[in-house]
C-alpha cells in the first residue's frame, strides 16, 4: 500500500494578496457577511485562512462580548472615585485586583463553562475550574480558593442523573487535585436549565502588591514563551462555535470535542509559575483559554507594546498532523504564555526544568505594531493585534420589554389567590415541603465531594453564609466571599433580580463580620438576538450597576455567557423566550476581615442563647420557594430592595462581629425565616423555641408571611443573653429593626424547632427530610 | 514549595513568637491537658532541634499543612523533594496527602519508585518514625512498608468531612499522646480510602495490634473492619487515611462543639506531639 500524502497548499498572506477572490467559508466559522467584509476593510485585502480563523474566534461572542460590550460600559460610567479607592486593577484585565491592606491584594473572578458542561459534564466542569484558576494566576496571584455556582434542571428529570453527578465529580476531580479549597457556592434547580445547565466557577487569588502582573507584552526583544501542556487537537473551534451556538435538535453537528483537562499538569504549572513570580523572571503572563494561541498572542501584543512575531512551527505539538490554523485555534488546556526578558531566560529555563514543565520559545516582542505569525518560513498572519483583540465589532442589538412580562408580573400570589395554610397541621406540612424543595434542601451530597480543608486557611466554608479564608498567617488577615443569584426573581424582574443578587451576597459577607469591598459577576442569559432576552440582559446590567453605586462597590471583572437556550428558533415562540434559561445574574461579593479566626459562623452554637430577627418582614411571597414548593407558581414581583436597610444591616452585623457580641448570624433568603432557623439548628443539632406573635403584630403579617416571606435585608442572630444590651445598642445606632423571637434550647434526640402555638418539629425528622432530597434523586 | 522555604527563612523569628504565643494560649485556655508544666516547656525548647522531613512529589498538596503542623508542635519542618538523594538528616518523615504524579496508573504506584523512597524505605526499616497521610498511606502500602491496600471508596465518590476516630493502639510513636479507646475528630478527604486486606493479613494485624485507628460512628468509605490507620510491626511506620495536619490550629481545624463556634478542634497536633515526646524520651530528656 502506498500511503497517500495529503497535499495542502498553505494559505499565506502573499497568496491572499494574489488571490483576492478566493471563496472562503467564513460562515462555517461563525462569522457573518458584514463581519467578513469588515475584516477585508481592516486588512485592505482578504484574510488568509489563518487570519480568518483568528478573527473568527476573537470576534465570537464568547471572546469579544460584542452583544454586551456596549451595555457593560455602564459599570465604568457608574464608578465613583470612592469605589475605585481599593482597586489596583479594574475591568479589562484577566481579573480585577483589590487592595486589602498590609501590602496584600486579592484577585477574584467568576466565569462560565456552561455549554461544554452539558455536552460532556465531567470534562466541561473540570476544565471550567482549570480555566479560571489560570486567569487568576495570570495576574501574578497565588490561587487560594475556588467556588462553584451550579444550575440544573428538574432534580428528578432522568437527564439530571447524567449531568449532576458528572459535573460535581468533574469539579471535585480538578479542584481537589489542585489543592484549592472549595469554600462555597450555590446550587439552584429550575426546569429552564434542563437542556442548558449553568456551570460557573470562581477562583480567588492572593498576592503582594509588588507581585502584580499584567498580561501585556512590553519590552522590545522579550522572548515569547509557550509553556505547560503540549498543543493538541482538542477544543478546536470550541470557543467560537461551541460556546455561541444553541443546542439544536437535528441541526448540523457543529460540536467539536470538549477540551480534556489534566489537573496534575495544572498543579505543576501553578507551582512552576509561583516560583517564577517569586524569582521575578516573568514580565507579562497570559493564560490560554478560549481561542488558544490566537487570543493569547493578539491580547498580549495589543495590551503591550503592540508588536509580536511568532514562529508557529516552534509550538510543541501533541498531534503533529495539526494544521497551522488548528494550532492557532486549539484550546488545549494547561498552557500559559509568558513574555520574558532575554537576561532572565536562563532563569526561566532552570525553573521550568526543575518542575519538568515543557516550554518553547515561539517568538519575540517588538514594537512594529503588527502581529506576524510564520510557519516554516511562510507568513500566515500579518495583522494589527488590536483589531482582533480590542476593536472587535460592537452590536447595539434591539431590545424591548416583552409583552408577557406584564402578564407574569400581574399574576401575584394575591391575584392568583394561592391558598395559605389554614390550620397548624397544614402549616407544618408546608414547612416540611419548603424544607425539602431542592433549592432549600441540603447540598451536602455535592459539597462533601469538595476538599475545603486543604491549605489549612479555611475558617468558614459551606454551609456557612460565606467562605472565609486567611491570607496572612501572621496577622490573621483574610477575606470572605459569597455568590448569589435567584433566577426566579430575575425572571420576574431582571433589573430587580440583579440587585437582589448583589444585596444577598452583600449581607452574606456581612454576616461573617467581613467588610464588603468588591464585586464580580457572571451574567448568564439566553440568545441576545431575541429582543426579549436582550432586554433582560440590559435590565440586569443597569440594575447591577445601580446597585453597585448604592453600595459603593466596584465591579472588578466577570463574564457574560449568552446563547443559553435549547431548541431551534423554529420551535420557539415569537418572543424567542421559550427554551431560554431564566436570566441568571450571578453576583459575587468579596469582603475583608482582619482576623478570620473570629468570623461569625451561621449555626447555633449553644443552648440558652436569645434569637433575634433583624430587619422588617413584608408579605413578599411572589417568586418565593413557598410559591414554588406548595403551588408550583411563578408570578408577581420580587421583593423590594430597600438600600438603607441593606446598608444598615451590614454595618450592624460587622460591628457586632468585631466586638464579639454575636455568637451566630445567618441571613434570611430562600425559603424564608423558617428555613434560616432550621439551617441554624441543623449545624450542631441544637433546637429552639420561637414565638412569632410579636413579629406578626409589629409587621402586620400572617403566619405564612412570617415563616416563608423572602423579604430582603434580614438576618437571624443568636446571642448570649448577657450581651443582649450591646447588640440592641448597635441595632439602635444604625436604625436596624430588631425583635427577639425566641431562644435556643434542646440538644440531641430531644431537640426540636417549636413555633409557639403552631407546631413542634423534631430536628431529626426535619433533617432527614431536608438531607435526603438530593441523595435520593442521585442514587 | 516556595511558601515552605520562605517560612523556613523566617523560622527563628516565627518560632520565638510561636513559643510565646503557645505558652500564653495554653495558660489562658486553662485546659488541664495543655497547661505548660515545667517538663513540657523543657521539651518544647528541645523539640526545635527535631527535624521532620516533609516529602513533596509533583502533585503533593498537603505539604504546607504538614510543615505547619510540625512547626506548631515545636519541631522543625524540612522540605524534601522527590528527586532528593538524601533525607537531609531528618529525624522523622511525613508523607503528605495529595495526588502524587496525578494518581496515574494507581494511587501511590509511581511515587513508590521516586529516588527518595529508597532512602525512606531504608530509614523505616531502621526504625525512623514515618507518618503517611492519605496519599502518603497509599504510597507506604505500595512500597510494602505497610500491609494491605487502598481501593476506591465503596460509594465511588470523593468524600470530605469531619470524621470521628477511635484510638485502638496508643503505644506507637505517633499516638502516645492519646488514650486507648479515645474518640478524636480530624478531617477526612479521599476518593480511594477503602482499606482492604486478605483474611490472613487482617488476622495478623489484629493479633499484633497493628490497627491503630478505626472509624467511629460511621464508616465513610467501606474500609474493612472500619480500619482508618495501620502501623508496621515495630510501630514506627503509621499510615492513615484521615488528615491530622488539617486540625492543628485553633480557628482552622474541625468543629469541636465549643461555644465559640469557631473551628477549634486540633486533635491532629497530638500526632506530632506524640512523636516529639517519644523522641525526647528516647534521647533521655524527661
Spell out the domains of chain A, with CATH numbers in brackets.
601-779 (3.90.650.10)
pLDDT value of position A242: 34
pLDDT value of position A252: 36
- Which helix (H) or strand (E) element contains residue A56? helix A49-58
Among A268, A450, A455, the residue with its CB nearest the CB of B160 is A450
Residues of A in contact with B99 (CB under 8 A): 176-177, 263-264, 267
Residue B160 CA: distances (Å) to CA of A138, A181, B188 = 29, 11, 6
pLDDT tier, B200 (very low <50, low <70, confident <90, very high otherwise):
very high
Residues of A in contact with B68 (CB under 8 A): 456
Contact A386, A670 (CB under 8 A): no
Query: Would the CB atoms of B187 and A453 count as touching at under 8 Å?
Result: yes
Query: Would the CB atoms of B246 and A454 count as touching at under 8 Å?
Result: yes
Give the residue among A651, A661, A677 at the shortest CA–CA distance from A736: A651
Q: What is the DSSP string of B193-230?
A: -EEE--HHHHHHHHHTT-EEEEE-SS-SS--GGGEEEE
A294 phi and psi angles, rounded to 5 deg: -55, -50
- State which residue of chain B sits closest to A469, comparing Cα positions: B252
Query: Would the CB atoms of A275 and B260 count as touching at under 8 Å?
Result: no
pLDDT value of position B39: 52
pLDDT value of position B283: 77
A417 near B CB under 8 A: no
Residues of B in contact with A451 (CB under 8 A): 158, 160, 189
d(CA B119, nearest CA chain A) in Å: 21
Neighbours of A345 (CB within 10 A): 15
- The size of the A-B interface in CB pairs under 8 A is 108
**Whether B243 is catalytic:** yes
Query: Would the CB atoms of A455 and B64 count as touching at under 8 Å?
Result: yes
Residues of A in contact with B2 (CB under 8 A): 274-275, 278
Among A178, A268, A448, the residue with its CB nearest the CB of B160 is A448
A603 near B CB under 8 A: yes
Neighbours of A679 (CB within 10 A): 22
Beta-carbon contacts of A18 under 8 Å, excluding residues fewer than 6 positions away, are none
Mean of pLDDT over chain B: 86
pLDDT value of position B24: 45
Among B64, B158, B245, the residue with its CB nearest the CB of A172 is B158
Instruction: Please list the ranges in chain A whose pLDDT falls under 50.
Output: 1-6, 238-256, 569-572, 574-575
Contact B263, B253 (CB under 8 A): yes
Among B157, B187, B251, the residue with its CB nearest the CB of A459 is B251
- State which residue of chain A sits closest to B245, comparing Cα positions: A456
pLDDT value of position B12: 42
Measured CA to CA, the distance from residue B282 to residue B286 in angstroms comes to: 9
Spell out the domains of chain B, with CATH numbers in brackets.
2-282 (3.40.50.880)
**What is chain B's length?**
286
What secondary structure letter does DSSP report for B268? T
d(CA B160, nearest CA chain A) in Å: 5
- Here the ipTM equals 0.88
Beta-carbon contacts of A591 under 8 Å, excluding residues fewer than 6 positions away, are A466, A479, A480, A481, A509, A510, A512, A514, A515, A516, A517
Residue A372 CA: distances (Å) to CA of A50, A51, A217, A297, A681 = 11, 10, 14, 10, 63
Residues of A in contact with B248 (CB under 8 A): 456
Partner residues linked to A754 by β-bridges: A689, A760
Contact A755, A692 (CB under 8 A): yes
Contact A495, A486 (CB under 8 A): no
Contact A175, A449 (CB under 8 A): no
pLDDT value of position A253: 36
Measured CA to CA, the distance from residue B1 to residue A587 in angstroms comes to: 34
pLDDT value of position A237: 57
d(CA A399, nearest CA chain B) in Å: 46
Query: Would the CB atoms of A457 and B252 count as touching at under 8 Å?
Result: yes
Q: For chain B, first and last CA: distance in Å?
A: 35
Interface probe, candidates B6, B16, B115, B252, chain A, greatest A C-beta count within 10 A: B252
Catalytic residues of A: 62, 113
Higher-scoring residue by pLDDT: B30, A256: A256
A144 phi and psi angles, rounded to 5 deg: -125, -10
pLDDT greater than 70 at residue B57: yes
Average pLDDT over residues B211-221: 96
Query: Would the CB atoms of A455 and B65 count as touching at under 8 Å?
Result: yes
A121 near B CB under 8 A: no
pLDDT value of position A577: 60
Q: For chain A, first and last CA: distance in Å?
A: 53
pLDDT value of position B63: 95
pLDDT tier, B108 (very low <50, low <70, confident <90, very high otherwise):
confident
Can you say whether the dihedral through the CA atoms of A421, A425, A431, A432 is positive or negative? Answer: negative
Residues of B in contact with A663 (CB under 8 A): 259, 261
- Which of B192, B231, B243, B246 does the annotation list as catalytic? B243
Chain A 343-372, residues with CB within 8 Å of chain B CB atoms: 355-356
Interface probe, candidates B7, B21, B59, chain A, greatest A C-beta count within 10 A: B59
Among A264, A457, A663, the residue with its CB nearest the CB of B261 is A663
Contacts 24+ apart (CB under 8 A), A444-448: A444/A771, A444/A774, A445/A774, A445/A775, A445/A778, A446/A150, A446/A164, A446/A168, A446/A187, A446/A774, A447/A182, A447/A185, A448/B159, A448/B160, A448/B161
pLDDT value of position B285: 64
Query: Would the CB atoms of B261 and A605 count as touching at under 8 Å?
Result: yes
Amino acid at each position: 500500500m502506498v500511503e497517500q500524502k495529503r497535499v495542502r497548499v498553505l494559505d499565506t498572506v502573499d497568496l491572499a494578496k494574489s488571490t483576492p477572490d478566493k471563496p472562503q467559508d467564513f460562515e462555517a466559522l461563525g462569522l457573518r457577511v458584514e463581519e467578513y467584509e469588515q475584516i477585508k476593510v481592516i486588512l485592505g485585502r482578504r484574510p488568509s485562512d489563518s487570519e480568518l480563523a483568528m478573527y473568527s474566534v476573537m470576534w465570537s461572542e464568547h471572546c469579544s462580548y460584542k452583544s454586551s460590550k456596549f451595555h457593560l460600559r455602564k459599570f465604568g460610567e457608574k464608578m465613583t472615585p470612592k469605589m475605585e479607592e481599593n482597586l489596583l486593577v479594574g475591568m479589562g484585565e484577566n481579573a480585577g485586583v483589590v487592595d486589602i491592606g498590609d501590602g496584600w491584594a486579592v484577585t477574584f473572578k467568576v466565569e462560565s463553562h456552561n455549554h461544554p458542561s452539558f455536552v460532556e459534564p465531567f470534562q466541561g466542569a473540570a476544565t471550567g475550574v482549570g480555566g479560571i484558576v489560570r486567569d487568576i494566576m495570570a495576574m501574578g496571584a497565588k490561587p487560594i480558593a475556588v467556588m462553584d455556582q451550579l444550575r440544573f434542571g428538574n432534580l428528578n428529570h432522568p437527564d439530571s442523573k447524567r449531568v449532576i453527578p458528572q459535573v460535581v465529580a468533574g469539579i471535585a476531580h480538578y479542584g481537589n487535585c489542585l489543592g484549592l479549597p472549595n469554600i462555597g457556592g450555590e446550587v439552584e434547580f429550575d426546569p429552564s436549565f434542563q437542556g442548558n445547565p449553568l456551570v460557573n466557577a470562581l477562583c480567588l487569588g492572593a498576592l503582594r502588591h509588588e507581585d502584580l502582573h499584567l498580561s501585556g507584552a512590553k519590552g522590545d526583544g522579550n522572548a515569547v514563551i509557550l509553556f505547560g501542556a503540549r498543543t493538541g487537537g482538542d477544543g478546536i473551534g470550541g470557543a467560537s462555535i461551541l460556546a455561541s451556538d444553541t443546542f439544536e435538535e437535528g441541526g448540523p453537528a457543529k460540536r467539536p470535542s470538549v477540551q480534556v483537562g489534566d489537573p496534575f499538569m495544572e498543579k505543576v504549572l501553578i507551582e512552576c509559575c509561583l516560583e517564577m513570580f517569586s524569582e521575578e523572571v516573568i514580565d507579562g503572563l497570559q493564560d490560554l483559554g478560549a481561542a488558544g494561541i490566537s487570543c493569547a498572542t493578539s491580547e498580549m501584543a495589543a495590551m503591550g507594546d503592540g508588536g509580536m512575531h511568532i514562529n508557529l512551527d516552534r509550538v510543541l505539538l501533541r498531534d503533529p498532523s495539526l494544521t497551522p490554523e488548528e494550532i492557532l485555534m486549539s484550546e488545549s488546556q494547561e498552557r500559559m504564555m509568558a513574555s520574558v526578558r532575554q537576561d532572565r531566560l536562563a532563569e526561566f529555563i532552570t525553573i521550568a526544568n526543575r518542575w519538568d514543565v515543557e516550554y518553547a520559545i515561539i517568538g519575540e516582542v517588538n514594537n512594529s505594531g503588527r502581529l506576524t505569525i510564520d510557519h516554516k518560513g511562510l507568513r500566515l498572519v500579518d495583522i494589527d493585534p488590536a483589531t482582533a483583540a480590542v476593536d472587535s465589532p460592537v452590536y447595539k442589538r434591539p431590545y424591548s420589554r416583552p409583552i408577557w412580562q406584564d402578564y407574569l408580573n400581574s399574576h401575584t400570589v394575591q391575584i392568583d389567590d394561592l391558598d395559605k395554610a389554614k390550620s397548624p397541621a397544614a402549616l407544618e406540612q408546608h414547612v416540611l415541603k419548603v424544607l425539602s424543595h431542592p433549592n432549600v434542601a441540603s447540598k451536602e451530597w455535592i459539597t462533601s465531594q469538595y476538599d475545603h480543608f486543604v491549605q489549612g486557611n479555611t475558617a468558614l466554608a459551606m454551609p456557612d453564609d460565606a467562605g472565609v479564608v486567611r491570607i496572612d498567617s501572621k496577622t490573621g488577615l483574610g477575606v470572605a466571599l459569597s455568590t448569589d443569584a435567584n433566577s426566579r426573581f430575575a425572571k420576574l424582574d431582571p433589573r430587580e433580580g440583579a440587585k437582589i443578587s448583589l444585596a444577598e451576597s452583600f449581607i452574606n459577607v456581612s454576616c461573617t463580620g467581613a467588610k464588603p469591598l468588591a464585586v464580580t459577576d457572571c451574567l448568564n442569559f439566553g440568545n441576545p438576538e431575541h429582543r426579549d432576552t436582550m432586554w433582560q440582559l440590559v435590565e440586569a446590567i443597569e440594575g447591577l450597576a445601580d446597585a453597585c453605586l448604592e453600595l459603593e462597590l466596584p465591579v472588578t471583572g466577570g463574564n457574560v455567557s449568552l446563547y443559553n437556550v435549547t431548541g431551534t428558533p423554529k420551535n420557539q415562540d415569537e418572543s424567542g423566550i421559550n427554551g431560554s434559561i431564566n436570566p441568571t445574574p450571578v453576583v459575587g461579593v468579596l469582603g475583608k476581615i482582619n482576623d478570620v479566626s473570629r468570623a461569625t459562623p451561621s449555626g447555633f452554637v449553644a443552648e440558652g442563647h436569645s434569637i433575634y430577627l433583624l430587619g422588617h418582614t413584608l408579605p413578599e411571597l411572589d417568586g418565593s420557594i413557598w410559591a414554588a414548593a406548595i403551588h408550583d407558581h411563578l408570578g408577581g414581583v420580587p421583593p423590594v430592595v430597600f438600600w438603607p436597610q441593606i446598608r444598615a444591616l451590614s454595618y450592624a452585623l460587622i460591628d457586632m462581629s468585631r466586638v464579639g457580641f454575636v455568637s451566630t448570624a445567618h441571613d434570611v433568603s430562600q425559603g424564608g425565616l423558617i428555613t434560616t432557623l432550621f439551617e441554624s439548628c441543623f449545624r450542631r443539632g441544637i433546637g429552639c423555641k420561637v414565638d412569632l406573635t410579636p413579629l406578626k403584630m409589629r409587621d402586620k403579617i400572617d403566619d405564612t408571611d412570617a415563616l416563608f416571606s423572602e423579604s430582603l435585608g434580614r438576618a437571624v442572630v443568636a446571642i448570649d443573653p448577657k450581651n443582649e444590651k450591646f447588640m440592641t445598642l448597635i441595632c439602635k445606632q444604625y436604625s436596624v429593626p430588631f425583635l427577639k423571637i425566641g431562644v435556643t434550647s434542646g440538644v440531641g434526640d430531644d431537640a426540636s424547632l417549636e413555633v409557639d402555638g403552631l407546631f413542634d418539629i423534631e430536628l431529626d425528622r426535619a433533617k432527614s427530610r431536608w438531607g435526603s432530597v438530593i441523595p435520593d434523586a442521585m442514587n | 514549595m516556595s511558601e515552605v522555604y520562605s517560612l523556613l527563612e523566617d523560622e527563628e523569628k516565627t518560632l520565638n513568637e510561636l513559643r510565646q504565643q503557645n505558652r500564653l494560649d495554653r495558660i489562658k485556655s486553662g485546659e488541664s491537658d495543655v497547661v505548660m508544666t515545667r517538663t513540657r516547656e523543657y521539651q518544647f525548647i528541645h523539640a526545635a532541634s527535631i527535624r521532620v522531613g516533609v516529602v513533596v512529589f509533583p502533585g503533593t498538596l498537603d505539604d504546607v499543612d504538614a510543615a505547619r503542623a510540625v512547626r506548631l508542635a515545636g519541631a522543625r519542618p524540612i522540605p524534601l523533594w522527590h528527586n532528593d538523594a538524601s533525607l537531609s538528616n531528618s529525624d522523622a518523615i511525613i508523607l503528605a496527602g495529595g495526588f502524587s504524579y496525578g494518581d496515574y496508573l494507581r494511587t501511590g504506584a509511581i511515587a513508590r519508585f521516586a529516588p527518595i523512597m529508597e532512602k525512606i524505605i531504608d530509614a523505616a526499616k531502621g526504625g525512623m518514625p514515618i507518618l503517611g497521610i492519605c496519599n502518603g498511606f497509599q504510597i507506604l502500602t505500595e512500597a510494602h512498608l505497610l500491609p494491605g491496600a487502598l481501593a476506591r471508596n465503596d460509594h465511588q465518590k470523593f468524600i470530605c468531612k469531619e470524621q470521628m476516630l477511635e484510638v485502638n493502639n496508643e503505644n506507637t510513636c505517633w499516638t502516645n499522646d492519646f488514650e486507648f479507646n479515645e474518640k478524636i475528630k480530624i478531617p477526612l478527604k479521599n476518593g480511594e480510602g477503602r482499606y482492604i486486606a486478605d483474611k490472613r493479613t487482617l488476622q495478623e494485624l489484629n493479633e499484633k495490634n497493628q490497627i491503630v485507628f478505626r472509624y467511629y460512628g460511621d464508616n465513610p468509605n467501606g474500609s474493612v473492619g472500619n480500619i482508618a490507620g495501620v502501623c508496621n510491626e515495630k510501630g514506627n511506620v503509621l499510615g492513615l487515611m484521615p488528615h491530622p495536619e488539617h486540625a492543628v490550629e485553633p480557628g482552622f481545624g474541625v468543629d469541636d462543639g465549643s461555644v465559640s463556634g469557631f473551628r477549634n478542634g486540633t486533635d491532629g497536633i497530638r500526632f506530632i506531639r506524640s512523636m516529639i515526646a517519644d523522641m525526647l524520651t528516647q534521647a533521655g530528656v524527661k
